[in-house]
């Protein structure tokens, strides 16, 4: 039987995303269940986490399952993901063995592994996650790599809760300053889910160098076409904010400088005025503001915006719990011989 994973929302149809969101809303109304009774999930964290770890552990517990947290290089052996490619300093074992052994113990493997800069520069592929999916014989969930699909679902659910139907709502993904941008995962994901939900999406960024990688821009263009929305790029703060229903903020590095932050620093610092503040939010259509968190206050968004009723970042963070329960229940249902796994 083919194993279905949750690696990217691009692997899921709009109808399947809608089904996951509906099940998540149901879990929000009625949190306890037995969908994971007797089942277990291994959560592999190559990078730090608060929300993802807490919500997955709790979600598994609430559905009668058990979660085991592993941090390679800390409380598990350092892992090599391709022959000769060191993931965590002194490599001890290959993902081939890790994924196969874990598949004998647990029912789902979930992985957080931000791409190393070298991976990005070589071919921009998501090698750690792909390797787990290749060698595991159980479903694999992406806990944030070069995309963050669980965050996408939580974001979409929060937007639906506040706006209802998202079709052709005006959505702005704005770049914001950060002294040390980490990766483009959530920015890539925001474009993909907003276009998948049929929204009219603007990518607002300081210069063309900050337009996201063409792989994700292409996904977003196709999603917009398939779902009756649109995608445009703007470098004009005022026109992008005007009339917006949603402002979503994220920092990321200029693509040509990825990993060479010192060379890019002057461009980034010249654009600190992209901070989300009350004056910009006043241009919107009583717009909502959100962010995946963690967020540096008064660097990406002001205290006034974060503490305003427009800010739904906490709702979005809460929804991580509900949507991930839907994802786990779906994958377990499917691997247990259930329906599509989305019929619940």
- Choice between 138 and 295, CB closer to ligand CP: 295
CA nearest neighbour of 157 among 294, 315, 30: 315
112 has binding-site annotation: yes
Phi, psi of 139 (to 5 degrees): -60, 145
Distance CA 10, CA 223 (A): 9
CA nearest neighbour of 286 among 206, 169, 208, 115: 169
Does residue 152 interact with ligand CP by CB under 6 A? no
With contact defined as beta carbons under 8 Å apart, do 330 and 344 qualify?
yes
Residues 99-138 vs ligand CP: string with x where CB under 6 A? ----------------------------------------
What stretches of 164-277 show up as alpha helix (H) in DSSP? Answer: 185-196, 214-227, 237-241, 261-269
Q: How many residues bind ligand CP (CB under 6 A)?
A: 8
Q: Which of 79, 220, 247, 292: binder of ligand CP (CB under 6 A)?
A: 292
Min separation Cβ 142 and ligand CP, Å:
11
In the region spanning residues 171 to 210, those forming contacts with ligand CP, defined by CB under 6 A, are none
Q: H or E segment at 81? A: strand 79-82
Does residue 142 interact with ligand CP by CB under 6 A? no
Q: Which of 9, 23, 145, 151: binder of ligand CP (CB under 6 A)?
A: 151
CA nearest neighbour of 252 among 172, 159, 173, 153: 173
Tokens encoding 48? 């730090």
77 has binding-site annotation: yes
153 has binding-site annotation: no
Does residue 222 interact with ligand CP by CB under 6 A? no
Does residue 22 interact with ligand CP by CB under 6 A? no
Tokens encoding 332? 């377990």
Contact residues: ligand CP, CB under 6 A: 49-52, 144, 151, 292-293
Binding residues: 49-52, 77, 112, 144, 148-151, 250, 292-293, 320
Binding residues for N(2)-acetyl-L-ornithine: 144, 250, 293
């Amino acid at each position: 039987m083919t194993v279905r994973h949750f690696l990217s929302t691009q692997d899921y149809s709009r109808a399947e995303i809608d089904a996951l969101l509906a099940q998540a809303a149901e879990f929000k109304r009625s949190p306890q269940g037995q969908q994971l009774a007797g089942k277990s999930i291994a959560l592999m964290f190559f990078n730090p986490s608060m929300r993802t770890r807490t919500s997955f552990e709790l979600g598994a517990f609430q559905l009668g399952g058990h979660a085991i947290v592993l941090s390679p290089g800390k409380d598990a052996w350092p892992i090599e993901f391709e022959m000769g490619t060191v993931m965590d300093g002194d490599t001890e074992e290959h993902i081939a063995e890790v994924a196969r052994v874990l598949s004998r113990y647990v029912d789902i493997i979930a992985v957080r592994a931000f791409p190393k800069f070298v991976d990005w520069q070589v071919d921009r592929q998501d090698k750690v996650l792909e390797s787990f999916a290749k060698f595991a014989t159980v479903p694999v969930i992406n806990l944030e790599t070069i995309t963050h699909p669980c965050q996408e679902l939580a974001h979409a659910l929060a937007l639906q809760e506040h706006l209802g139907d998202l079709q052709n709502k005006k959505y702005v993904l704005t770049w914001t300053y950060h002294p040390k941008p980490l990766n483009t995962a959530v920015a890539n994901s925001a474009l993909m889910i907003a276009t998948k939900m049929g929204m009219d999406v603007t990518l607002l960024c300081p210069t063309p160098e900050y337009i996201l990688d063409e792989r994700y821009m292409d996904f977003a263009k196709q999603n917009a076409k398939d779902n009756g929305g649109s995608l445009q790029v703007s470098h004009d703060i005022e026109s992008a904010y005007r009339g917006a229903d949603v402002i979503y903020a994220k920092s990321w590095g200029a693509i040509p400088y990825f990993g060479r932050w010192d060379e890019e620093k002057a461009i980034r610092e010249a654009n600190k005025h992209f901070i989300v503040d009350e004056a910009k939010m006043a241009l919107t259509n009583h717009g909502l503001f959100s962010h995946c968190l963690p967020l540096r206050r008064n660097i990406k968004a002001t205290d006034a915006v974060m503490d305003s009723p427009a800010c739904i970042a906490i709702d979005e963070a809460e929804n991580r719990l509900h949507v991930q329960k839907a994802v786990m229940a779906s994958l377990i249902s499917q691997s247990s011989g259930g329906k599509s796994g989305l019929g619940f």
